[in-house]
Structure 1
Amino acid sequence: MSSSSPYSRRITALYALFLLPGTLAATWITRTPDIRDRLNASTDEMGLVLFGLAAGAMVGVLSAGAWVRRFGTRGVLGVNIALMAAGMAVVSLGVSSGQALIATGGLALFGAGMGLAEVAINIEGAAVERLSGRALMQTLHGCFSLGTVLGALVGIAFTAWRVPTEYHLMGLTLATLPGFWWAIRGLPRETGRFTPASEETPTTSEDAPKAANASVWRNPRVLMLGTIVLAVALSEGSANDWLPLLLVDVHGVTPALGSLGFMLFALTMTLGRFSGNALMRWLPRHTLFRLCIGLALLGVALITLTEHSGVAIAAVVLWGIGTSVGFPLSMSAAGEGDNGDAQVAATAIMGYIAFLAGPPLLGFIGEHAGLDRALMVVFVVLALGLAVSGAVRRQDGTVAPSHKG
């Protein structure tokens, strides 16, 4: 990226705003076995704890579009920082006291911040991609996955060193706050904000964003893209929330190796996303998606049907690579056209609902049928995403962004 680009500071800020939430997410994920033990929770009780994260995040996701239209992406991301920091503090208190209800409430606050942020940064990323003419979404989501790798490395080390989970959670949260602050200051205030034209009547001005938002939900292509994002988000979210426990409880590895298995998933996600732009020089967008989703289906099937730890590790690699490109490809596709911001918001809403609400549901199923059998839900939903994969095909008349680094 040229330093003279008018978008250099803004793009760098976006890199940070994708990287840092990934780091914090992995902080929670790598410590789930210890948190489960500290809270003395069963599988379905952990599902209830995770439901706090899902409930908060759904509130954030569903309200994000209205907040962005009113305050812009920069304003929404400022609220996100406060909610995430407060949430992690409450989670730490719940873990240290062994109180699942307190931890659940903290996760609800943390989830609300994450939900607001994830919609806002995807709107910002799609806007910069359109304005700069550069393919950015693969790299931006690659930064999120890179953050999960970095967070997993810290989590593995702290688990091995027996650092108390509450110190780990709060310490890393405080360490990321200056980075969040610096990044948000690099964004313009107007992105996503609704600014009515001067000739419109007040009634028309107020109703225009509502009408545009309603029309998005009647667009068949947006609904298909949302289905695709729902599928890959459920796949990613299930691995994030349950993979360490799945490897420990079903495949018999140690907690440290369970965290290492999650890091391997995050690493393959990262490599897949950073390779996406190069691969799209040779493959159409929809073809790349179909190849990857096939690998994800194979990985989920293998880890579900075998208890052999070696096969499970190979399945994690296939699962991670296969899941990697679907979300950013769909965000790029949703951002095309005159109503790009609203389409990105709608598509992201469907994805993040699955990302956050799906894994707790798997916990309830896993309590009765086993976590490995619960993953068959992921397999079925991924197959549905493959069935509507034509929606990621580039629309006629849209210009493909540059895939140069």
Structure 2
Amino acid sequence: MTSSRIAVAAAFVVNGALYGSWAARVPALADQAGAGTGGLGLALLGPSVAMILTASPAAKACARWGARPVLALCLPAACLLLPLLGLAGSVWTLGLALALLGGLMGAVDVSMNIGAVAVVRQLDRPLMPVFHAGFSFGGLGGSLGAAVAAALAVEPAVQFGVIGVLGLTAVLATVRAVPGERPAAEERPSGGYRQVMSRGRLWLLAGIAVCAAVAEGACAEWSALFLVDARGFGEAGAAAAYSVFAVAIAVTRLTGERAQRRFGPYRLLVGSGALAASGVFLAAVVPSGFAAYTGFALAGIGLAFCFPLAMDLAGAAGREPGGTGGERELGFVTTVAYAGLLGGPPVIGGVATLTGLPGAMALAGVVAVLIVPAALGARRLRPPVVLPADPVRS
């Protein structure tokens, strides 16, 4: 029988693989749809907006019916929709397919994180970073598969069909073990989202998630161009730097349980934010290849824990006496994080236009630094109890 831990981990891996598969084939999708730079930009805006719009309703649905049915509906639907994305023949159909896929993946993000919170509570183990490692490795696997498909001139629809079938098979085999069945009526969270939005600690946790996502996105999306244009790297060397960053995040997340038990989530967030900022600044300021690779590796190690811990603490903030709850809080933090992430790339791009790519990368370092005061503020506002995943009151 599949354990709840394996089932939730499978959802993270499949979701990451779906994302890595289509994101790495954007150039092929743009050529197939005849999309220019402007049209492609609008099409890529669709999934971000859709994720913002679906995060809160998904959290409400999880609070009412449980995480399992939401995940069981949305993740298979995303697997089935992915091959249709590969058939998009115009900018409009590409944008529509991406928006639908983004909406589904937003709901999947919320429900799988709520399922992960339930596993953390069941096992009394701080496993959230480890679950997010599954997403990272899934994304790496999906992108590597996309690279092989592109090298072999395989059409996106064929590649997406294979990934969709594999993902659907994995989900159907494990989803019944996902925790989060419909809560009993007396255990369902009371109050509305207005009450959640009035809690300063949740805004700080959302700020941590935003900063982590923006800094991670800047490193992932701008590092290659930065190294080619500002440091004189070849395309292969620049791609290798991104690989160093991505692998550092994935591998570091596997150590999350031990690190969180030793330092506690707040110390870990403060140290991680400082390390991430130091790495980004090193890559942005010191003009050498060794500094670039070292900086992006340090940035990956630092950013690895920030987003998962923000999700973990958000779920813990809404825990009910019966051991349930946290859906609204996690949905709120996710929605704010997505909204902030939507504005991140245009801001980074604007700074790059005004000051050059080194200035834009330095801005990503400033964003990472903001994780430190946000974590200290959230720690100060925490309730006077020891959380199950926070054995060290630090």
Q: 1:24 is matched by which residue type in structure 2?
A: L
Letter in 2 for 1:269: I
Flag the 1:81–1:399 CA change in 2: closer, same or farther, 3 A: closer
Q: Which residue of 1 aligns with 2:72?
A: 78
Deviation at 1:375, TM superposition (A): 4.3
Q: Structure 1 residues 335 and 189, CA, compared in 2 at 3 Å: closer, same or farther?
A: closer
Q: Distance in 2 between matches of 1:293 and 1:52?
A: 30
Q: How far has the Cα of 1:327 moved from its partner? A: 1.4
2:340 equivalent to 1:354? yes
Quote the Cα distance in structure 2 between the aligned partners of 1:387 and 1:304. 22
**Please, which of 131, 137, 151 is the counterpart of residue 140 of structure 1?**
131
Specify which of 3, 17, 23 is matched with residue 17 of structure 2.
23
Give me the TM-score of the superposition, normalised by structure 2. 0.83
Mapping 1:362-377, distance limit 5 Å: 362=347, 365=350, 368-369=353-354, 373-377=359-363
Tell me: CA distance 1:368–1:105, structure 2 relative to 1, closer, same or farther (3 Å): farther
**Separation of aligned partners in 2, 1:43 and 1:368:** 16
2:369 pairs with 370, 383, 389, which one? 383
Contact preservation (8 Å) 1:152, 1:263: no
Cα distance, 1:116 vs. partner? Answer: 0.2
Query: Aligned letter for 2:185?
Result: P
Matched, 1:266 2:255: no
Residue by residue over 1:341-400, the C-alpha shift from the partner in whole angstroms, topping out at 9 and shown as x without a partner, is 332222222223334x14553576378446654445533432322221125547532244
The answer to whether structure 1 residue 196 and structure 2 residue 181 are counterparts is: no
**How many equivalent residue pairs?**
382
After TM superposition, list the pairs within 5 Å mapping 1:227-306 onto structure 2.
227-243=207-223, 259-305=239-285
Query: Distance between the aligned counterparts of 2:346 and 2:370, measured in 1?
Result: 18
Q: Which residue of 2 aligns with 1:397?
A: 385
Matched, 1:319 2:305: no
Q: Structure 1 residues 260, 171: closer, same or farther in 2, change over 3 A?
A: farther
Query: Aligned equivalents of 1:90 and 1:243: distance in 2?
Result: 31
Instruction: Describe the shift of the 1:252–1:45 C-alpha distance in structure 2 as closer, same or farther (beyond 3 A).
Output: farther
Q: Does 1:330 align with 2:324?
A: no
In the aligned structure 2, how far is the partner of 1:39 from the partner of 1:254? 29
Q: By how many angstroms is 1:256 displaced? A: 5.8
303 and 351 in structure 1: CA distance in 2 versus 1, 3 angstrom threshold: same
Distance 1:82 1:125, change over 3 A: closer
**Secondary structure at 1:285's aligned position in 2?**
helix
* In structure 1, distance between residues paired with 2:199 and 2:87: 45
Match among 171, 176, 187 for residue 185 of structure 1: 176
**Can you list the C-alpha shifts for 1:87-143, whole angstroms capped at 9, x where unaligned?**
42343123xx4x333222211111111100111111111122123212211211111
TM-score, structure 1 length as denominator? 0.81
Identity of aligned residues (%): 26
- The separation in 2 between residues aligned to 1:278 and 1:401, in whole angstroms, is 11
Work out the CA distance in 2 between the residues paired with 1:29 and 1:262: 14
Q: Name 2:142's counterpart in structure 1.
A: 151
Q: 74-83 or 285-294: which moved more? A: 74-83
Per-residue deviation, residues 67-91 of structure 1 (Å, max 9, x unmatched):
2233321221133225423542343
The one of 168, 172, 180 equivalent to 2:163 is 172
Specify whether residues 80 and 42 from structure 1 end up closer, same or farther in structure 2 by C-alpha distance, changes over 3 A only.
Answer: same
Query: Equivalent residue of 2:370, what SS?
Result: helix
| Conserved? CA contact 1:296–1:319, under 8 Å | yes
**2:255 match: secondary structure:** helix
The change in CA–CA distance for 1:112 and 1:276 in structure 2 (over 3 A counts) is: same
Instruction: For 2:165 and 2:273, locate their aligned partners in 1 and report how far apart those are by CA, in whole Å.
Output: 37
Find the residue that maps to 1:381 and give its secondary structure. helix
Identify the match of residue 330 of structure 2 among 344, 347, 351: 344
What letter corresponds to residue 92 of structure 1 in structure 2? G
**Inter-CA distance 57–156: structure 2 relative to 1 (3 Å threshold):** same
Question: Distance in 1 between the 2:34 and 2:292 partners?
Answer: 27
Q: 1:202 aligns to what?
A: none
RMSD across aligned positions (CA): 3.3
Closer, same or farther in 2 for the Cα pair 1:171/1:257, shift >3 Å?
farther
Quickly say closer, same or farther: Cα 1:31–1:255, change in 2 above 3 A.
farther
Taking a change above 3 Å as real, the CA distance of residues 380 and 367 of structure 1, as seen in their structure-2 partners, is closer
Q: CA deviation at 1:335?
A: 2.6
Task: Tell me: CA distance 1:13–1:27, structure 2 relative to 1, closer, same or farther (3 Å).
Answer: same
Q: Is the 8 A contact 1:233 1:327 kept in 2?
A: yes
**Matched AA of 2:49:** A
Runs of 5+ unmatched residues, structure 1:
199-204
Q: How far did residue 247 of structure 1 move?
A: 5.2
Task: Give 3-state SS (helix, strand or coil) of 1:388's partner.
Answer: helix
Q: Residues 308 and 402 (structure 1 numbering): CA distance in 2 closer, same or farther, change over 3 Å?
A: closer
